[in-house]
Chains A and B, each alone.
Chain A
Amino acid sequence: MKKFISGNHAVAEAVRLCRTQIVAAYPITPQTPIYEKLSELEAGGELGGIMMRMESEHSAMAACLSASLPGVRTFTATSSQGLALMHEMLHFASGSRSSVVMANVNRTLAAPWAFWSDQTDSLSQRDTGWIQIYCEDNQEALDSVIQAFRIAEKVLLPCMVVLEAHYISHFMEPVDVPDQTQVDRFVPPVDIPRRFEVDNPRFSLGVVNQKQYRDFRRLSQEAMELALEVIEDVDKEFARTFGRGYGMVEAVDTEDADLVLVTTATITSTARATLPILRKKGLKIGLVKIRVFRPFPTQALRKILDSVSKIAVIERNISLGREGIFCSELKAALANSPVRQQIQGYLAGIGGTDVDPGMIERIVVDAMERKEAMDGPIWMTE
Chain B
Amino acid sequence: MAINEIKFCGRGGQGVVMASQMLGLAFFKAGMYPQCYPVFGGERRGAPVVSFLRVDKEKILLKCDIKQADELLYFDTTLINVEEIRGLMRPGGRILLSTSEPVSDLEGISEHTLGLVDAPAIARKLGLGHVINTAILGAYCRFSNLLSMDHLISAIEEIVPAKREENMEAARQGYGELIITSA
Q: Give the complex CA separation of A278 and B62 in angstroms.
A: 15
Checking A4, A115, A171 against B37 with a beta-carbon cut-off of 8 angstroms, the contacting residue is A171
Checking B33, B34, B40, B67 against A356 with a beta-carbon cut-off of 8 angstroms, the contacting residue is B67
Instruction: Knowing A4-B24, A4-B28 are in contact, say whether A172-B65 is a contact too (CB < 8 A).
Output: no
Instruction: Knowing A269-B61, A270-B62, A273-B61 are in contact, say whether A172-B34 is a contact too (CB < 8 A).
Output: yes
Q: Give the complex CA separation of A167 and B37 in angstroms.
A: 8
In the assembled complex, A355 has its CB within 8 A of some CB on chain B? yes
Q: Give the complex CA separation of A273 and B61 in angstroms.
A: 6
What residues on B are CB-neighbors of A4 within 8 Å? 24-25, 28, 34, 36
Interface size for chain A: under 10, 10 to 19, 20 to 34, or 35 or more residues? 20 to 34
In the assembled complex, B15 has its CB within 8 A of some CB on chain A? no
Interface size for chain B: under 10, 10 to 19, 20 to 34, or 35 or more residues? 10 to 19
* Contact, CB under 8 Å: A174 / B33: yes
* Contact, CB under 8 Å: B63 / A170: no
What does the 1/0 interface line of A101-136 toward B look like (CB < 8 Å)?
Answer: 000000000000001000000000000000000001
Q: Give the complex CA separation of A199 and B14 in angstroms.
A: 55
Checking B28, B63, B67 against A167 with a beta-carbon cut-off of 8 angstroms, the contacting residue is B63
In the assembled complex, B173 has its CB within 8 A of some CB on chain A? no
What does the 1/0 interface line of B71-82 toward A look like (CB < 8 Å)?
Answer: 000000000000
Checking B33, B34, B64 against A270 with a beta-carbon cut-off of 8 angstroms, the contacting residue is B64
What does the 1/0 interface line of B26-70 toward A look like (CB < 8 Å)?
Answer: 001000011111101000000000000000000011111101000
Q: Give the complex CA separation of A171 and B36 in angstroms.
A: 6
- Residue on B nearest A138 in the bound complex, by CB: B35
- Residue on A nearest B34 in the bound complex, by CB: A4
Given contacts A4-B24, A270-B62, 7 further A-B pairs with CB under 8 A are: A4-B25, A172-B24, A172-B36, A173-B35, A173-B60, A266-B63, A355-B63
User: Can you list 24 A-B contacts (CB < 8 A)?
Assistant: A2-B28, A115-B40, A166-B37, A171-B36, A171-B63, A172-B34, A173-B33, A173-B35, A173-B36, A173-B60, A174-B33, A174-B34, A266-B63, A269-B61, A269-B62, A270-B61, A272-B61, A354-B65, A355-B64, A356-B64, A356-B65, A356-B67, A357-B62, A357-B64
User: Which residues on B are within 8 Å of A, measured CB to CB?
Assistant: 21, 24-25, 28, 33-38, 40, 60-65, 67
